[in-house]
Amino acid sequence: MKDHRKHGGSVSWSTFFWFTLVVVLSSVIVTSLVISSFHLFDVPHFHFPKSVLKWQTRAPAQVTIRESVMLPDQVLIFLNYPSSFPYHTKNDLQCVYFSAYLEPRPPQQPIQIHSVRLHEQIVRCPLPPRGETVSLRINSNDPLQIKNSSMHNWDPLIYEALFDRDNTTIVFVKGLNLRPEKLGESSRFQCVYGWDFTRTKFFFKSDVLSVAQEIIRCKTPTSILAQAQAHTQAYLKVSIQVEGKKIFPSIARPGFLSTQKQPKPKLHELCLCTMLRNQARFIREWVMYHARIGVERWFIYDNNSDDDIENVITFLQNAGYNITWHLWAWVKTQEAGFAHCAVRARASCEWVAFIDVDEFYNIKIKGGLKHVIQHYSRPENNVAEIRTPCYSFGPSGLKEVPREGVMMGYTCRLAARERHKSIVRPDALNQTLINVVHHFHLRTPFVATDVEKRVMVINHYKYQVWKVFKQKFYRRVATYVADWKLQQNVGSKDRVPGLGTKPVEPADWSSRFCEVKDMGLRNWVMRNFMDRRTHLLPWQPEFERHIKRRRKRKEKGIL
């Protein structure tokens, strides 16, 4: 009888609980399938069969404007694309301008268009007149809409960010106006993470570890880091808040650097980083020469060029040179760009050199650039930065761009050395990433050393023929270097002696800056690069045509 009362007709609580749980979960799954078919929400982590997906009636895929930034000389418009949606070309788009009081102006073609992230493009449009706004039109359709809250002025702005490998976030800021090489008071700042900075309930805040120049480093909140590692932070932004002030406007969505263990030795012993604008005509010579003396990889930061630079880089990549092109659209931020490059290069490069495309290492001993580095960086010396003196070359009597290249054409220079440029170990940089283009700050116990001029110098082809030199008046990329057209820092070494602030060619320009005849690098290039039959150099367009003709003749001979 006891057994009958225990097991007959009644159900135990545990059985009832598990039965109820199965019923509830089944109901949730079925309901979720139905609701998802009506697009009320998406259920994460469920993978439906293709037959179920066909039931869904999706709205037409549309390209949208995420945000725009008004630079001093142009507008950046950020486009978001749906998955599997083909990217538009420059010919598909028009920049359209609006005013509340004036008739619409004729549309203009974009300056350039860049694919920079998955499902994202940056379109560069001419700057609108004061009081007007700019949008985009695709294939003569109605202009795309953008919210006023998504339109940003350049200053102030959080414009770039990176999740670093030490669980910190590096934030790049315009508008702090801090002095070069000086630390700011970090306790006055906080980093702010979120999707919409107008909704305070969805903020994540963290402490700032260092503030210097245009760079802030802060602790990454654990929850944010988890999302970053899972790659679910697609539209997460980071900004900063200064004590007693509003949150800075931001377009910065942090990129996530790989945390994988770095190979030892690293993939590349020597890399090279530069920032340029409209220097495509010089890149072939610069890359080919430095590859011969030991550079293995190049990071090219493009500061809004419009001179077909991407096609030149593609040509070099197809020729076997390891080059990474990176759009760096931000005005007068060279120091920040070099810090950004150092962090990116750290995983694969033992050493990184920072020079411009008109600067060439001139090695005066045997063994190449790697041999010089090994000589000056013995482990017991803790050397992590090698500084090379620069010598500035003038037009050397020329009035037209030398067809053979700058190393062959410019052979007369000033006698005095001018500053230095550095090769650094990115692993040894100070946490602040402070630099002033010519050198970085290192962490303890690392030190810098100077190269003797009898070992190596940099040939800086600074004062070229006027046709080339006058382009520098348009805009200079370094943050703390005044534009030549501004009446500012008149006594600075960055100024051109006797030129003033107007881009007007002096009558004697071709003969200026000529104190020492220096043929050393020119002679080395002739011995090591020049084709003996044609007297052509590999960076000349005629050389490429010559090689093609030679191949055709060989093929005909074989046939």
Final residue of a structural domain among 212, 235, 256: 256
* Statement to judge: residues 478 and 347 lie in one domain: yes
- Show the tokens assigned to 129: 């007149």
Residue 23 lies in a domain: no
Percent of the chain at pLDDT > 70 equals: 80
What is the residue type of 368? Answer: G
- Show the tokens assigned to 477: 């990329």
Burial letters for 266-280: b for 16+ Cβ neighbours within 10 Å, e otherwise?
bebbbbbbbbbbbbb
Distance of CA 178 to the CA centre of its chain: 22
* Statement to judge: residues 333 and 477 lie in one domain: yes
Domain at 318, CATH number: 3.90.550
Instruction: Work out the average pLDDT over 518-534.
Output: 95
* Statement to judge: residues 122 and 198 lie in one domain: no
* Most confidently modeled range among 244-248, 471-475, 521-525, 539-543: 521-525
Say which residue, 287 or 61, is predicted with more confidence. 287
Phi/psi at 514 (5° precision): -120, 95
Tally Cβ neighbours within 10 Å of residue 411: 22
H-state helical runs in 200-355: 222-229, 280-292, 309-318, 334-345
Give Cα separations from 390 to 229, 275, 458 (angstroms).
43, 18, 5
* Statement to judge: residues 148 and 281 lie in one domain: no
Phi/psi at 449 (5° precision): -140, 155
Residue 533 lies in a domain: no
With bands split at pLDDT 50, 70 and 90, how would you rate the model's confidence at 99? confident
pTM given for the model: 0.84
In angstroms, the CA 411 to CA 396 distance is 6
Total structural domains within the chain: 3
**What are the tens digits of pLDDT across the range 269-313?**
999 999 999 999 999 999 999 999 999 999 999 999 989 899 999
pLDDT at residue number 491: 59
CA dihedral 278, 284, 290, 295 (to 10 degrees): 90
Asked if the model's pLDDT at residue 29 lies above 50, the reply is no
pLDDT at residue number 468: 92
* Statement to judge: residues 311 and 173 lie in one domain: no
The three-state (H, E, C) secondary structure of 440-484, written as one string: ECECCCCEEEECCCCCEEEEECCCCCHHHHHHHHCCCCCCCCCCC
What is the average pLDDT score of the chain?
84
Residue 511 domain boundaries: 268-482+506-517
- Could you tell me whether strands 157-163 and 151-153 are parallel, antiparallel, or unpaired per DSSP bridges? unpaired
**Burial class of residue 349 (count of CB atoms within 10 Å of its CB; 0-12, 13-18, 19+):** buried
In angstroms, the CA 369 to CA 142 distance is 56
Say which residue, 16 or 459, is predicted with more confidence. 459
* Statement to judge: residues 376 and 473 lie in one domain: yes
Final residue of a structural domain among 256, 282, 305: 256
In angstroms, the CA 66 to CA 373 distance is 46
Give Cα separations from 294 to 173, 344, 363, 366, 497 (angstroms).
35, 20, 11, 12, 35
Residue 500 lies in a domain: no
Instruction: Work out the average pLDDT over 439-445.
Output: 94
* 384, 445 Cβ separation under 8 angstroms: no
Instruction: Work out the average pLDDT over 414-425.
Output: 95
End-to-end CA distance of the chain: 104
Instruction: Work out the average pLDDT over 129-133.
Output: 87
Domain at 144, CATH number: 2.60.40
Asked if the model's pLDDT at residue 477 lies above 50, the reply is yes
Give Cα separations from 252 to 58, 221, 237, 356 (angstroms).
30, 17, 5, 27
Instruction: Work out the average pLDDT over 53-73.
Output: 71
Residue 16 lies in a domain: no
* Statement to judge: residues 251 and 281 lie in one domain: no
Phi/psi at 162 (5° precision): -140, 140
pLDDT at residue number 396: 98
* Statement to judge: residues 216 and 275 lie in one domain: no
Say which residue, 494 or 98, is predicted with more confidence. 98
**Burial class of residue 9 (count of CB atoms within 10 Å of its CB; 0-12, 13-18, 19+):** exposed
Say which residue, 542 or 6, is predicted with more confidence. 542
pLDDT at residue number 365: 92
* Most confidently modeled range among 23-32, 67-76, 471-480: 67-76
* Statement to judge: residues 207 and 144 lie in one domain: no
- Could you tell me whether strands 323-327 and 349-354 are parallel, antiparallel, or unpaired per DSSP bridges? unpaired
Tally Cβ neighbours within 10 Å of residue 472: 18
Element (H, E) at 132: none
CA torsion sign, 350 to 354 to 360 to 364?
negative
Residue 345 lies in a domain: yes
pLDDT at residue number 178: 87
* Statement to judge: residues 413 and 464 lie in one domain: yes
Instruction: Work out the average pLDDT over 184-202.
Output: 86
The string of DSSP codes covering 180-210 is TT-B--GGGEEEEEES-TT-GGG-EEEEEEE
In angstroms, the CA 459 to CA 411 distance is 10
Residue 411 lies in a domain: yes
Residue 46 lies in a domain: no
* Statement to judge: residues 147 and 161 lie in one domain: no
Asked if the model's pLDDT at residue 149 lies above 80, the reply is no
Q: Among 5-19, 160-174, 350-364, 396-410, where is mean pLDDT lowest?
A: 5-19
- Show the tokens assigned to 426: 């990115």
Residue appearing with tokens 């406007």? 249
**What are the tens digits of pLDDT across the range 380-411?**
889 999 999 999 999 999 999 999 999 999 99
pLDDT at residue number 22: 45
With bands split at pLDDT 50, 70 and 90, how would you rate the model's confidence at 487? low
pLDDT at residue number 60: 54
Say which residue, 548 or 205, is predicted with more confidence. 205
Phi/psi at 78 (5° precision): -95, 120
* Helix, strand, coil percentages in the chain from 3-state DSSP, rounded to 5: 25, 25, 45
* 388, 456 Cβ separation under 8 angstroms: yes
Q: Provide the angle, in degrees to the nearest 10, between the axes of the packed helices 520-529 and 280-292.
A: 80
Final residue of a structural domain among 256, 290, 319: 256
Residue 555 lies in a domain: no
Q: Please name which of 470, 475, 472 lies closest in space to residue 504, comparing C-alpha atoms.
A: 470
pLDDT at residue number 480: 61
* Statement to judge: residues 446 and 305 lie in one domain: yes
Asked if the model's pLDDT at residue 140 lies above 90, the reply is no
Asked if the model's pLDDT at residue 472 lies above 90, the reply is no
Instruction: Work out the average pLDDT over 124-133.
Output: 90
